[in-house]
Structure 1
Amino acid sequence: MAHNIKQMSEMATEIQIAPNRVRLSTEVPVKRPSAEQLIKIEKPGRKTANRIKKETMPKKQGNAELIITEKPAAAEKIAAALGKAEKKNIGGVSYYELEKDGKKILIGCAVGHLFSLKQMSGKGWPVFDIAWKPNFKVKKKDWSKKYYNALQKLCKEAGSYIIACDYDIEGEVIGWNVLRFICKRDSAKRMKFSTLTSSELQESYKNVLPDIDYGQAYAGETRHKLDWLYGINLSRALMEAIKKTGSFKILSIGRVQGPALHLIVEKEKAIQNFKSEPFWQVFLLVKNSHQIEVKFPKDITKKEELDKFKTLKGKEAIAVTTKSQEKIPPPSPFDLTTLQTEAYKFHGLNPSRTLALAQQLYLAGLISYPRTSSQKLPASIQYKDILKKLSKNYKNFTDYAKKEKPVEGSKSDPAHPSIYPTGDYKELSLEEKKVYELIVKRFISCFCEPAALEGKKIEVTVEGMKFTTKGTKIIEKGWMNVYPAKIQETDLPDLNGAVKVLEVKIEEKMTQPPKRYTPASIIRELEKRSLGTKATRAAIVETLFDRGYVKERSIEATKLGISLIESLEKHSPIIIDEKLTRDFEKQMESIQ
Structure 2
Amino acid sequence: MNVSVWLLRRASMLPQPWRCFSRAAEEVALQRIRKVLCVAEKNDAARGIAELLSNRRMRRREGFSKFNKIYEYDYQMFGQNVTMVMTSVSGHLLAHDFIMPFRKWHSCNPLALFDAEIEKYCPENYLDIKRTLEREIQQCQALVIWTDCDREGENIGFEIIHVCRAVKPNLQVFRARFSEITPHAVRAACENLTQPDQRTSDAVDVRQELDLRIGTFQTLRLQKIFPDILADQLISYGSCQFPTLGFVVERFKAIQAFVPEAFYKIKVTHDHEDGSVVFNWKRNRLFNHTACLVLYQMCMEDPVATVVDVVSKPKSKWRPLPLDTVELEKLASRKLKINAKETMTIAEKLYTKGFISYPRTETNIFPKELNLSALVEQQTQDPNWGGFAQRILDEGGPTPRSGTKSDQAHPPIHPTKYASNLQGNEQRLYEFIVRHFLACCSQDAKGQETTVEIDIANEQFIAQGLMILARNYLEVYPYDKWSDKVIPLYQKGSRFQPTTVEMVDGETSPPLLLTEADLIALMEKHGIGTDATHAEHIETIKTRMYVGLTADQRFLPGQLGMGLVEGYDSMGYEMSKPDLRAELEADLKLICEGKKDKSVVLQQQVQKYKQVFIEAVARANK
Alignment TM-score > 0.5, same fold: yes
Q: Tell me which of 376, 396, 400 is aligned to 1:387.
A: 376
Contact 1:190 1:208 in 2 (8 A): yes
Q: 1:392 to 1:280 in 2, by over 3 A?
A: same
Question: Partners of 1:114 and 1:200 in 2: how far apart?
Answer: 26
Q: Secondary structure at the match of 1:501?
A: coil
Q: 1:145 to 1:429 in 2, by over 3 A?
A: farther
Q: Tell me which of 529, 544, 559 is aligned to 1:547.
A: 544
- Corresponding residue for 1:223? 207
Shift of 1:246: 7.4
Residue type at the aligned position of 2:435:
K
- Corresponding residue for 2:241? 257
Residue type at the aligned position of 2:149:
Y
Shift of 1:271: 0.3
Range that drifts further, 111-120 or 413-422: 111-120
Q: Secondary structure at the match of 2:408?
A: coil
Q: Tell me which of 498, 501, 504 is aligned to 1:504.
A: 501
Q: 1:288 to 1:499 in 2, by over 3 A?
A: farther
Contact 1:312 1:501 in 2 (8 A): no
Range that drifts further, 321-330 or 106-115: 321-330
Contact 1:445 1:483 in 2 (8 A): yes
Question: Partners of 2:298 and 2:272 in 1: how far apart?
Answer: 20
Shift of 1:118: 2.1
Question: Partners of 1:239 and 1:187 in 2: how far apart?
Answer: 47
Contact 1:287 1:500 in 2 (8 A): no
Question: Partners of 2:408 and 2:430 in 1: how far apart?
Answer: 24
- Corresponding residue for 1:78? 49
Shift of 1:311: 4.8
- The 5 Å alignment of 1:490-569 reads 490-496=485-491, 497-552=494-549, 553-569=553-569
- The 5 Å alignment of 1:270-285 reads 270-285=254-269
Q: 1:116 to 1:468 in 2, by over 3 A?
A: same
Question: Partners of 1:341 and 1:191 in 2: how far apart?
Answer: 30
Contact 2:438 2:476 in 1 (8 A): yes
Shift of 1:458: 1.9
Q: How many residues align?
A: 526
Residue 117 of structure 2 corresponds to residue 132 of structure 1: no
Write the deviation string for residues 434-455 of structure 1: whole angstroms up to 9, x where unpaired: 1111111111122212211221
Shift of 1:78: 1.7
Question: Partners of 1:335 and 1:191 in 2: how far apart?
Answer: 22
Shift of 1:301: 1.3
Q: Secondary structure at the match of 2:62?
A: strand
Q: Tell me which of 476, 482, 486 is aligned to 2:481.
A: 486
Q: 1:444 to 1:251 in 2, by over 3 A?
A: same
Residue type at the aligned position of 2:447:
L
TM-score when normalising by structure 1: 0.84
Range that drifts further, 332-341 or 420-429: 420-429
Gapped regions of structure 2 (runs ≥ 5):
1-12, 14-31, 593-622
Question: Partners of 2:354 and 2:405 in 1: how far apart?
Answer: 24
Q: Tell me which of 338, 358, 361 is aligned to 1:369.
A: 358
Q: Tell me which of 84, 88, 99 is aligned to 2:61.
A: 88
Residue 481 of structure 2 corresponds to residue 468 of structure 1: no
Range that drifts further, 544-553 or 177-186: 177-186
Residue type at the aligned position of 1:338:
E
- Corresponding residue for 1:579? 579
Shift of 1:527: 0.4
Contact 1:574 1:580 in 2 (8 A): no
Shift of 1:575: 3.1
Residue type at the aligned position of 2:241:
Q
Contact 1:62 1:156 in 2 (8 A): no
Contact 2:180 2:416 in 1 (8 A): yes
Contact 2:39 2:147 in 1 (8 A): yes
Question: Partners of 1:278 and 1:559 in 2: how far apart?
Answer: 32
Shift of 1:208: 1.0
Contact 1:285 1:504 in 2 (8 A): yes
- Corresponding residue for 1:344? 333
Write the deviation string for residues 533-566 of structure 1: whole angstroms up to 9, x where unpaired: 0111111111111122211121112222222112
Write the deviation string for residues 97-153 of structure 1: whole angstroms up to 9, x where unpaired: 1122321211111111122112222233342322111121xxxxx3x3332222222
Q: Tell me which of 180, 185, 189 is aligned to 2:174.
A: 189
Q: Secondary structure at the match of 1:433?
A: helix
Residue 144 of structure 2 corresponds to residue 162 of structure 1: yes
Residue type at the aligned position of 1:312:
C
Q: Secondary structure at the match of 2:377?
A: helix
Question: Partners of 2:539 and 2:72 in 1: how far apart?
Answer: 40
Contact 1:372 1:534 in 2 (8 A): yes
Residue type at the aligned position of 1:243:
P
Q: Tell me which of 115, 119, 129 is aligned to 1:147.
A: 129
Question: Partners of 2:569 and 2:290 in 1: how far apart?
Answer: 44
Range that drifts further, 355-364 or 419-428: 419-428
Q: 1:504 to 1:324 in 2, by over 3 A?
A: same
Range that drifts further, 188-197 or 455-464: 455-464
Residue type at the aligned position of 1:528:
K
Contact 2:151 2:204 in 1 (8 A): yes
- Corresponding residue for 1:353? 342
Residue type at the aligned position of 1:195:
E
Shift of 1:511: 1.1
Residue type at the aligned position of 1:106:
V
Shift of 1:90: 2.5
- The 5 Å alignment of 1:169-208 reads 169-184=151-166, 185=169, 188-208=173-193
- Corresponding residue for 1:5? none
Question: Partners of 1:134 and 1:75 in 2: how far apart?
Answer: 21
- Corresponding residue for 1:29? none
Shift of 1:318: 0.4
Q: Secondary structure at the match of 2:361?
A: coil
- The 5 Å alignment of 1:428-447 reads 428-447=422-441
Q: 1:510 to 1:173 in 2, by over 3 A?
A: same
- Corresponding residue for 1:416? 410
Question: Partners of 1:426 and 1:363 in 2: how far apart?
Answer: 16
Residue type at the aligned position of 1:188:
V
Contact 1:79 1:107 in 2 (8 A): yes
- The 5 Å alignment of 1:394-413 reads 394-401=385-392, 402=395, 403-413=397-407
Contact 2:133 2:163 in 1 (8 A): no
Range that drifts further, 573-582 or 554-563: 573-582
Q: Tell me which of 270, 275, 285 is aligned to 1:299.
A: 285
Contact 1:179 1:187 in 2 (8 A): no
Gapped regions of structure 1 (runs ≥ 5):
1-45, 47-60, 137-141
TM-score when normalising by structure 2: 0.80
Question: Partners of 1:100 and 1:294 in 2: how far apart?
Answer: 72
- The 5 Å alignment of 1:42-81 reads 63-81=34-52
Question: Partners of 1:287 and 1:395 in 2: how far apart?
Answer: 43
Residue 220 of structure 2 corresponds to residue 236 of structure 1: yes
Q: Secondary structure at the match of 1:258?
A: helix
Contact 1:376 1:411 in 2 (8 A): yes
Shift of 1:423: 2.6
- The 5 Å alignment of 1:305-320 reads 305=291, 306-313=293-300, 315-319=303-307, 320=309
Contact 1:116 1:134 in 2 (8 A): yes
Question: Partners of 1:300 and 1:323 in 2: how far apart?
Answer: 29
Contact 1:66 1:158 in 2 (8 A): yes
Identity of aligned residues (%): 24
- Corresponding residue for 1:213? 197
